[in-house]
Structure 1
């Protein structure tokens, strides 16, 4: 039976997976942007492509390296949710 505790557990596990997956993508991009901003401030170069291109390359590299793991995490969450849904229906 679906109770408030079970529903909160399901939502909590989903939010946890989403936060972890987003952090894996966003944190390297933020760090790269910070390094590029410091470099631009030191050299006084204000080129738009200099701030965009490294972040794009880092984000694509992270997707290439961690993409399989991210898909496995999402599929594990979906499998867990469907297994739990089948157990909750009586």
Structure 2
């Protein structure tokens, strides 16, 4: 499922767009940032949601597809979420039988 124009593909595990290298993912984040600022200045319209800020925070490696994904979560936010989820006890949940 590779896109021939930009050399990106969809990750089958996460459904996110995957980039072949960290540099390409960071370059795309920069393009999003520049494009959003230019668009906001040219339109002159009032922006309510996120006040024109772009959402991309960092790029990370995906072990499932071997590519790099872009996310708006900071590393600390992800670590906090992961620690919370790892602490959940799912063995005591009531089982559902069909």
Q: What's the TM-score bracket when you normalise by the shorter of the two chains?
A: 0.3 to 0.5
TM-score, structure 1 as length reference: 0.35
Q: Which has the larger radius of gyration?
A: 1
More strand by share: 2
More helix by share: 1
TM-score, structure 2 as length reference: 0.33
